Amino acid sequence: MMISDITTHRAFGAVLDPVQFAAELASLKQRPQYQGRALSVTLPDAVTRLFESPLVPKGQGVAISDGAALPVAVVTVQAGGTQLTCLVPLATSEARDWFIESVERQRRMFIAVNVPERRQLVLVQSDAPVRDVSSPAWTALRDHLRGYVPGGDQAAEVLDMVDVLRLAEESTQSFVPGFEVSERWVFVCVPYQTDGHAVQAPVGAGKGAGAVALH
């Protein structure tokens, strides 16, 4: 669909725990020695090659929504005029562990991209999402997330989630100087359940939430 002349695609992704991420990396011919958590999405080959190419300028942005009921991490990586945006509701301990670990220990965000045409996995990664992990702002946010307890108001959580989705799709912000956003791939990423299926998160449209950028 078209929003502000940006072609936007929606899909679901996943938050991988260390065992799941290691299993994904095992499929690579040259296995990088990364340990920890990652996001997982599926993209077409043509889009993935933009993020692989050293000739295409890159950019990134990381933010946390300020919804009252449900914090949502918004991770965007951009290659030229193409954005990959992952929305991660931080309602579960698995999702919060992924976010805190990515900021403090890994100092980057890993996105495992499955490419069906190649039957291959491509690893996309951001630079450090927070420059100073000892800053009072990050410390306060980390402590807030560690102490977060879902309020049980599922209707309010759904509204917060769809508000963030709406804002992500309506945004025209580019993270690559000189490039306007022409295409955006938006994924709602949630942890896998023990049965191997991803928890389904709400997708829709609403009003009211904002986002706080991390630096």
Identify how many contiguous H helices and E strands the chain contains and give both numbers.
5, 10
* Percent of the chain residues topping a pLDDT of 90: 52
The segments of the chain whose pLDDT lies below 50 read 1-3, 194-215
Q: What is the pLDDT of residue 59?
A: 95
Q: What gap in Å lies between CA 132 and CA 112, rounded to an integer?
A: 25
Instruction: Please write the tens of the pLDDT for every residue from 61-104.
Output: 999 887 778 899 999 999 999 999 999 999 899 999 999 999 99
Q: What is the pLDDT of residue 29?
A: 63
Helices 93-101 and 136-146: angle between axes, nearest 10 degrees: 160
Q: What is the pLDDT of residue 211?
A: 33
- Scanning the structure block, which residue is given the tokens 């709400």? 202
Q: What is the pLDDT of residue 183?
A: 96
CA 39 from centre of chain: 7
Domain count, the chain: 1
Q: What is the pLDDT of residue 180?
A: 96
Q: What is the pLDDT of residue 192?
A: 74
The model's pTM is: 0.85
| 133: its two tokens | 């992990």
Q: What is the pLDDT of residue 154?
A: 81
Between the alpha carbon of residue 26 and those of residues 33, 45, 64, 69, 189, the distances in Å are: 10, 20, 31, 38, 21
Quote the domain boundaries for residue 126.
2-213
